[in-house]
Amino acid sequence: MANSDFWAVVPVKDFKNAKSRLATVLNATERQQLSRTMVQDVLGAISAVSGLAGTVMVTHDPEAADLATAFGAKVFFEVENRGPTEAVMLAVRLLAAEGKGGMISIPCDVPLINPDEINFLLETHGSAPAVTITPAWDGGGSNAIVCTPPDAIPLSYGEGSFKAHLETTRRHGIEANVVELPGFGLDLDQPDDLIALIDKSSKTLTARYLEETGIAARLNADIPKWSHG
């Protein structure tokens, strides 16, 4: 890896409040365990990437912090849950203040990512100042953003963030490098996303959890209701 000063940034919401959009198909306990398992898949993939200088989790949840520590990541504690934008920007400001070369923001709900995808993003990233963005499968969200320097642009997550980040990048005189990747593309946020993950028959901890708990079978019985079509 030409640049070994990239830091991964992973924002994690409190598990007890996570994935409310899945409340129509998963109860609170299931949503909490799904969140824990996805974090383990994401941290596992990140920890296997030799081209990263380190990983930072931004969270208010002590349990999430313990998981981060178990995978060798640093933890930046939030005083309260303020959402992914504020969490990532907290890390961005700290990394920039420390003179770090770059950062890659990775959400905690993309269990299909793998070290090869992360390495590809870092290897195809341009010379600073530069921004690389990987969109969600539906083109709405930004599921990975690589920035050199870490504060190359201000970030803002939410509905339509992919298009918004493209516009922000252009305003800063940078042409974003857009890279579509299947693992990063699937974030588990809606019932349809769970079906998509189950259909891929992956070997992730998340897929195993959905199978072993019977959630996958339960959701498959409702495919006409939740299918992408």
Over residues 190-225, the pLDDT tens digits come to 999 999 999 998 999 999 999 999 999 999 887 554
- Could you give the 3-state DSSP secondary structure of residue 97? helix
What the block records as the tokens of 110 is: 């993309």
Q: Which CATH class is domain 6-187?
A: alpha beta
pLDDT above 70 for 229: no
Cα distances (angstroms) measured from residue 210 to each of 63, 72, 136, 163, 206: 21, 26, 22, 32, 6
Whether the pLDDT of residue 45 is over 50: the answer is yes
Residues 146, 67: Cα–Cα separation, whole Å: 23
Q: Please state, for a pLDDT cut of 90, what percent of the chain lies above it.
A: 87
Within 8 A by CB and 6+ apart from 189, the residues are 19, 21, 22, 109
What is the H or E stretch that residue 33 is in?
helix 28-47
Q: Hey, what amino acid is at 196?
A: A
Write out the two tokens for 126.
Answer: 């341009």
Cα torsion angle, 64, 210, 19, 200, sign: positive
- Answering whether pTM is above 0.75, one says yes
Domain range list for the chain: 6-187
